A and B are shown apart, each in its own frame.
Chain A
């Protein structure tokens, strides 16, 4: 699909010729995923406008191309058909596949000055885990999130629980969940204790449970998966038991997309969801809610998630420098703080949280800092070669277990077998 050597050559020649002609101006095309309606694009646009004001010699064209998956397909297709694209925000977990396609270059190749190197080291280490492969940095964190626990304080009080004490471990989650689950006279549940979404990104939620059980899902090189380790099976059994045994969560799958509504409609006391939802929940909740770190079993933990900046290989040295400039601008503390406040995504560096703006915001709205505090315990999101296929294997295993089609052990062993087969080529 991607070896159109001649065309690529031609495009390189053409684009160098063109950039030579334009000389003074460097044009950048950036692909950007917007899973969220239009509001995000406005924030990105305004940051880019600021950048262009500071750098009149660089023109940035942002292409908003749908969700993460669409953005990746479209950016790669553009490159393949000879249209320009110098940088993109894409799924942090796409890194192995992008490397396999020989589409990206490590930032180390471009960020060579001492100042640049300090910049490379200025981010939270947990956010760099998905971007670093083979000792090089391929992805710079930008639109990043983790999973946090949202809980309804009013419901906690009504159930006689301490509203400032969210469940700290799995046992507490079950105990409190039981107290929070309410039934009506006919035995129908009117209020659930907890909900963990199992469509959309089941593997991501599951990554939290396994990390809490002290087991990662893959190696850093993305060539091995550990789906059938006992701790993983145990984690999935626990997830299932919340519905089947403890009855604090509905059985079957729970929709990622509608879960926020369930929480806002007070149908569940606790939900696990992306920090990216924080601003939306804050805006529409008409009850007292809290945000806490996910509960621990053997340890605390959550995977990171979201998108990283990547630099495409098919670009001129000038374009690469300009692209680096843009990435540096967008991840600079002030911009990162602005971005975080307006979207709910994380500030990507400690310096961002030290800005006046973000400090003030955290003071007025403490939940905003939970994601940051949790970073200390965070792990990488499931990322392997053939990421899409491997992810689906795990997703299917999780859903098969939650919907009672298979036992956790059978489902995960099967997924592991299949994953090994898929990854055999990359060992």
Chain B
């Protein structure tokens, strides 16, 4: 009797699970399709003549003309270089500065620590582009308009990074630090040899956030860059595809693909390693 009930309920359970699994798989795929669709459309429009930008026909002739047009219309290599330099510049500074500050807040007992931490946390929400008017004037008075450092300067210290690292450092056993001290390590050595290796997952998570933020950042670079000297991809693409002049989806799609291709290829190549390492690291 008991067995029978269990058996039946198991059967019922597995049936309903299978059904709900099917539905849930379907939903997952529909959502996935919707999510990747802009990219698929970009591929379609970029490789076909403009007549087919808004029509979909299987026999539409393929062309590379749009890529050629886009390529001569905007200096994509320069924009790309600018974006890479700016993003890396910011990331490197952030990692160093946030590590130092995070350690101080996590492990040193000094007067005013609470106040300092609270002051830092303000920037968690009040990011530099919110204060765009004042920050622009600061940059102008430093003569840093239209330079890499001008685009990066307001972001070099990140409250988010400091906060994350402080939390992580706090979970690292004090005993490890004490042991290192006995061996005669200086503070910087302790940070480098003890804390940094143990906080790798946090560094990885923060780097992802930072890179994605600055790779996509638009408003601040729009305001502080003037020329190709420092203009990143986002601003370049905004000028390139400005709707003021009438939208040409084929060429814009080609431009978009050119500009995301490097990142996309890197992601496709390293997808497995990337997600795996991110996961085994485990972000909390």
A and B touch in the complex (CB under 8 A): yes
Tell me if B20 counts as interface (CB < 8 A to partner A): no
Tell me if B171 counts as interface (CB < 8 A to partner A): no
User: Which listed residue (A81, A255, A265, A284) contacts B141, Cβ 8 A?
Assistant: A81
Find chain A residues with CB under 8 A from B227 CB: 63-65
User: Which listed residue (A1, A35, A63, A73) contacts B242, Cβ 8 A?
Assistant: A35
Given A261-B246, A280-B246: A37 touches B51 (CB 8 Å cut-off)? no
Q: From A42, which residue of chain B is reached at the shortest CB distance?
A: B72
Tell me if A321 counts as interface (CB < 8 A to partner B): no
Given A82-B143, A258-B243: A38 touches B72 (CB 8 Å cut-off)? yes
A314 → B minimal CB distance (Å):
15
Given A34-B239, A81-B140, A284-B50: A276 touches B245 (CB 8 Å cut-off)? yes
B46 → A minimal CB distance (Å):
15
Q: Are the C-beta atoms of A38 and B73 separated by less than 8 Å? A: yes
Find chain B residues with CB under 8 A from A277 CB: 246
Tell me if B244 counts as interface (CB < 8 A to partner A): yes
User: Which listed residue (A82, A83, A200) contacts B243, Cβ 8 A?
Assistant: A200
**How many A residues have CB within 8 A of the partner chain?**
35
Encoded as 1 (CB less than 8 Å from any B CB) or 0, chain A from 63 to 83 comes to 111110010011001101111
Find chain A residues with CB under 8 A from B73 CB: 37-39
Q: Are the C-beta atoms of A257 and B54 separated by less than 8 Å? A: no
Find chain B residues with CB under 8 A from A185 CB: none
Tell me if A96 counts as interface (CB < 8 A to partner B): no
Q: How far is the CA of A261 from the CA of B55 in the complex (A)?
A: 12
Given A74-B226, A81-B143, A286-B51: A35 touches B137 (CB 8 Å cut-off)? no
Given A39-B73, A64-B227, A74-B226: A261 touches B243 (CB 8 Å cut-off)? no
Tell me if A385 counts as interface (CB < 8 A to partner B): no
Tell me if A24 counts as interface (CB < 8 A to partner B): no
Tell me if A129 counts as interface (CB < 8 A to partner B): no
B123 → A minimal CB distance (Å):
25
Q: How far is the CA of A1 from the CA of B245 in the complex (A)?
A: 31
Encoded as 1 (CB less than 8 Å from any A CB) or 0, chain B from 227 to 263 comes to 1000000010011111111111101000000000000
**Which residues of A176-231 have CB atoms within 8 Å of chain B's CB atoms?**
200
Q: How far is the CA of A156 from the CA of B141 in the complex (A)?
A: 60
Given A257-B246, A260-B246, A277-B246: A77 touches B251 (CB 8 Å cut-off)? no
- Name the 3 nearest CB pairs between A and B, nearest first: A257-B243, A38-B73, A36-B245
Beyond A256-B244, A257-B246, A258-B243, 14 extra complex contacts between A and B, CB < 8 Å: A1-B137, A35-B244, A35-B245, A37-B74, A37-B239, A73-B223, A77-B140, A77-B145, A200-B243, A258-B246, A260-B246, A261-B54, A261-B246, A280-B248
Q: List 25 A-B contacts (CB under 8 A).
A: A35-B245, A36-B245, A37-B73, A38-B72, A38-B74, A39-B73, A64-B227, A64-B239, A65-B226, A77-B136, A80-B140, A81-B141, A81-B143, A82-B143, A83-B145, A200-B244, A256-B243, A256-B244, A257-B243, A257-B244, A257-B247, A260-B247, A261-B53, A261-B246, A277-B246
